[in-house]
């Protein structure tokens, strides 16, 4: 009350004359109202415990954020009952790098004193000595001679204690209330000792809470640390609450990104501590409240919640309850949250980031490799050697084999599920068939009564029609019953239906095996080194109709098989001289061309051989 009455007296001295008394009463009324002179509304009563007896004696304690270094300055001044510092200063230094100090023959009008430490300190977050000096102050109970500690908490409550005393509280009550408010505003619950008895290296609840507060106030730079202390003190002074939502969020953001294992190592190195208090649980409770994460206990283990704090850089970031502590969820954890892992090898898109994929194995998810993402199936010990396919068009798939936990591409092959299947009753061989317009074609070269290779069998015109006694169209020839050798007119109908012309017959080509480098005698794989899927993409081999034309080339007694750059199919048609006509497809200028080509003579009709596609009657 002393400071408030001093304000009233100062007001009175400003005035003279007849109105002085009236003005004085008005000033006194407002001053007393401001300081809570109404006993019915004031919560503060001088406690019997708050002895105002003079103090004289030695004072010692520890100054720490982490320990202040040896040589840091210590100042103590006595306080009177109205929180005014007495003139005389008692000075000393931190005696060692553990932050300990001792000052002889300190005297004060009351049990309480103002204390301040200035110097560099060991930063328990960075694990190094601060680059610049900082100061911490506090109200200390001088009678606690050996535990007049200065720390982050004593600095945070100093201005609040001064404010409460100014409005009528005793130093004892103000100190007690401010300290209780401090723990409450951080959300820390427990039976804590007085702040100037606390030590960040003591394995107690108070030590753990103090260490947590210290970490929340710290920063990578000492400038940031000093700023956070000042901003907190100004805010807390008003009503005993930390209302600065931006600053609170910054403290939480700073803490959740820390490596607490490393912080423990730093503390161990700085103080040789046998057992470090459980500060993590206090930081966890603060972060949970700031981010609105809720409870984290055994009942909620592996629970994942998104942080909700618009002042925080982590707003919307997912956190996971892990062994009683909240931590940032990994991309794997947040993306697989809620997904069911019930089949080895299943690949699922992420729950949050749907562009990421995860493999279920042994009841848990892992990130899918590039090949597993491509195939949409896991590859592991459980399916070593297995096959899988990936659709590249309606009629074609890229096939893979699981080898050493990776899907290895084997090549492009026909997707038989998109075709009807014809079984040749003569030898049981199966052929995919496809309907294009009004025509139904074999989607594979005939392989009857010969030693087939990847391009099917080769037939001379004479051999192909040998079974036909009637050469009028349609000519069955060597085709299965109900099928025949297509005529030139029927090929032209195919081209009309598909839109193929002399420049674009490649839309009928099978993706694999075409020699895009122009070599007639070498297959695609030997000449280019590209994969089947790459040749499809580069050359536009879409094969939208599923005709699946392969570059089988020709076969003759003199040159053998020449394949890789063209396909030649037999027709049942002949020219005016009776010489047979075949249909030639090649890759001129990397665009398919289709041309009619006749045997040069009757001998060639017997010696040169070509592939055959049968057409349904």
Read off the pLDDT of residues 446-497 as tens digits, 9 standing for 90 and up. Answer: 999 887 777 889 998 888 886 555 677 899 999 999 999 999 899 989 988 9
Alpha-carbon gap, residue 119 to 133, rounded angstroms: 5
433 contacts 421 by C-beta, under 8 angstroms? yes
Instruction: Please give the pLDDT value at position 547.
Output: 92
Q: pLDDT tens digits for 219-248?
A: 767 778 998 999 999 999 999 999 999 999
Count of CB atoms situated within 10 Å of the CB of 425: 10
Cα atoms in the Cβ-side hemisphere of radius 13 Å centred on 580: 29
E strand or H helix that includes residue 116: strand 112-119
467 contacts 478 by C-beta, under 8 angstroms? yes
DSSP state of 511: S
pTM, 2 dp: 0.62
Alpha-carbon gap, residue 558 to 195, rounded angstroms: 103
- Residue 40 or 110, more confident: 110
Instruction: Write the Ramachandran bin of 89: left for phi over 0, alpha for psi from -120 to 50, otherwise beta.
Output: beta
Sheet harboring 560-562: ordered strands across? 560-562, 554-556, 608-609
Q: Check pLDDT > 90 for residue 282.
A: yes
Q: Which residue is listed with tokens 């490799």?
A: 369
E strand or H helix that includes residue 253: helix 245-256
Least confident of 44-53, 236-245, 273-282, 409-418: 44-53
What the block records as the tokens of 61 is 């304690």
Residue 43, SS3 per DSSP: coil
CA-nearest of 542, 596, 603 to 569 is: 596
Looking at every residue in the chain, the average pLDDT score rounds to 82
Q: Which residue is listed with tokens 């103590």?
A: 76
What the block records as the tokens of 140 is 């200390």
485 contacts 463 by C-beta, under 8 angstroms? no
Instruction: Please give the pLDDT value at position 524.
Output: 38
Instruction: Please give the pLDDT value at position 220.
Output: 65
Alpha-carbon gap, residue 181 to 175, rounded angstroms: 10
The 3-class SS string of 385-437 reads: CCEEEEECCCCEEEEEEEECCEEEEEEEEECHHHCEEEECCCCCCEEEEEEEC
Residue 438 burial (10 A CB sphere; 0-12, 13-18, 19+): exposed
Q: pLDDT tens digits for 4-46?
A: 433 333 333 333 333 443 333 333 333 333 343 333 333 334 4
Output phi, psi for 515, to 5 deg: -90, 95
Instruction: Please give the pLDDT value at position 89.
Output: 93
Q: What percent of the chain has pLDDT over 70?
A: 80
Residue 520 burial (10 A CB sphere; 0-12, 13-18, 19+): middle
In angstroms, the first-to-last Cα distance of the chain is 115
Q: pLDDT tens digits for 151-198?
A: 999 999 999 999 999 999 999 999 999 999 999 999 999 889 999 999
What the block records as the tokens of 275 is 């057992």
What the block records as the tokens of 51 is 């002895």
Alpha-carbon gap, residue 173 to 168, rounded angstroms: 10
E strand or H helix that includes residue 239: helix 222-239
337 contacts 329 by C-beta, under 8 angstroms? yes
Output phi, psi for 395, to 5 deg: -110, 0
Instruction: Please give the pLDDT value at position 605.
Output: 64
What the block records as the tokens of 571 is 């027709």
What the block records as the tokens of 72 is 């840091």
- Residue 603 or 287, more confident: 287
Least confident of 55-69, 254-268, 353-367, 556-570: 556-570
Between β-strands 580-586 and 593-598, what pairing exists: parallel, antiparallel or unpaired? Answer: antiparallel
Instruction: Please give the pLDDT value at position 175.
Output: 95
Count of CB atoms situated within 10 Å of the CB of 38: 9
Q: pLDDT tens digits for 503-558?
A: 556 678 876 656 544 433 333 333 455 565 565 555 555 678 999 988 888 887 66
**Per DSSP, which regions of 477-616 are E strands?**
483-484, 554-556, 560-562, 566-574, 580-586, 593-598, 608-609, 615-616
Q: Which residue is listed with tokens 């103080």?
A: 271
Query: C-alpha distances in angstroms, 135 versus 74, 97, 215?
Result: 10, 16, 16
Q: Check pLDDT > 90 for residue 359.
A: yes
Alpha-carbon gap, residue 345 to 334, rounded angstroms: 20
Alpha-carbon gap, residue 158 to 174, rounded angstroms: 10
Q: Domain residue spans in the chain?
A: 2-34, 55-287, 293-336, 347-414, 420-616
Instruction: Please give the pLDDT value at position 5.
Output: 38
Output phi, psi for 231, to 5 deg: -65, -40
């Amino acid at each position: 009350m002393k400071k408030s009455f001093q304000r009233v007296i100062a007001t009175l001295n400003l005035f003279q004359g007849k109105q002085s008394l009236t003005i004085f009463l008005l000033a006194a009324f407002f001053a007393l109202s401001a300081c809570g002179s109404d006993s019915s509304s004031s919560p503060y009563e001088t406690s019997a415990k708050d002895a105002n007896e003079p103090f004289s004696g030695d004072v010692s304690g520890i100054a720490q954020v982490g320990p202040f270094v040896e040589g840091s300055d210590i100042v103590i001044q006595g306080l009177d009952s109205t929180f005014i510092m007495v003139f005389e200063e008692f000075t000393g230094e931190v005696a060692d790098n553990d932050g300990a100090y001792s000052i002889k023959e300190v005297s004060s009008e009351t049990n309480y004193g103002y204390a301040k430490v200035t110097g560099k300190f060991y930063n328990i977050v960075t694990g190094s000595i601060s680059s610049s000096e900082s100061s911490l102050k506090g109200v200390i109970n001088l009678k606690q001679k050996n535990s007049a500690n200065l720390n982050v908490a004593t600095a945070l409550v100093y201005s609040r204690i001064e404010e409460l005393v100014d409005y009528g509280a005793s130093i004892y009550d103000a100190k007690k209330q401010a300290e209780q408010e401090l723990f409450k505003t951080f959300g820390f619950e427990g039976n804590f000792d007085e702040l100037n008895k606390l030590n960040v290296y003591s394995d107690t609840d108070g030590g753990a809470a103090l260490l947590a507060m210290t970490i929340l106030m710290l920063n990578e730079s000492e400038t940031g640390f000093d700023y956070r202390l000042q901003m907190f003190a100004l805010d807390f002074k008003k009503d005993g609450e930390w209302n600065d939502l931006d600053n609170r969020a910054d403290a939480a953001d700073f803490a959740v990104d820390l490596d607490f294992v490393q912080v423990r190592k730093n503390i161990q190195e700085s103080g040789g501590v046998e057992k470090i208090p459980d500060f993590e649980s206090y930081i966890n409770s603060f972060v949970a409240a700031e981010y609105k994460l809720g409870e984290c206990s055994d009942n909620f283990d592996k629970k994942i919640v998104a942080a909700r704090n618009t002042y925080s850089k982590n707003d919307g970031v997912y956190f996971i309850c892990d062994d009683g502590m909240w931590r940032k969820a990994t991309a794997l954890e947040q993306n697989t949250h809620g997904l069911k892992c019930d089949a080895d090898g299943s690949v699922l898109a992420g729950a949050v980031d749907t562009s990421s994929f995860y493999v279920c194995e042994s009841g848990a998810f892992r990130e899918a490799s590039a090949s597993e993402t491509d195939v949409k199936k896991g590859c592991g010990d459980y399916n070593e050697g297995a096959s899988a396919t990936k659709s590249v068009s309606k009629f074609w798939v890229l096939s893979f084999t699981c080898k050493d936990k990776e899907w290895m591409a084997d090549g492009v092959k026909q997707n038989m599920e998109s075709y009807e299947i014809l079984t040749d009753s003569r030898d049981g061989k199966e052929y995919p068939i496809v309907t294009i317009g009004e025509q139904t074609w074999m989607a594979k070269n005939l392989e009857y009564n010969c030693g087939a290779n990847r391009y099917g069998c080769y037939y001379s015109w004479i051999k192909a029609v040998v079974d036909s006694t009637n050469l009028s169209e349609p000519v069955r020839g060597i085709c299965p019953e109900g099928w025949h050798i297509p005529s030139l007119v029927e090929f032209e109908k195919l081209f009309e239906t598909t839109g193929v012309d002399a420049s674009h017959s490649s839309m009928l080509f099978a993706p694999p095996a075409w020699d895009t480098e122009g070599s007639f005698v070498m297959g695609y794989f030997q000449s280019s080194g590209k994969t089947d899927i790459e040749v499809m993409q580069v050359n536009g081999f879409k094969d939208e109709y599923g005709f699946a034309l392969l570059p089988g080339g020709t076969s003759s007694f003199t040159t053998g098989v020449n394949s890789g750059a063209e396909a030649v199919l037999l027709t049942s048609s002949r020219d005016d001289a009776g010489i047979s006509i075949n249909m030639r497809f090649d890759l001129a200028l990397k665009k398919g061309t289709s041309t009619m080509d006749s045997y040069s003579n009757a001998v060639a009709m017997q010696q040169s051989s070509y592939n055959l596609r049968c057409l349904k009657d």
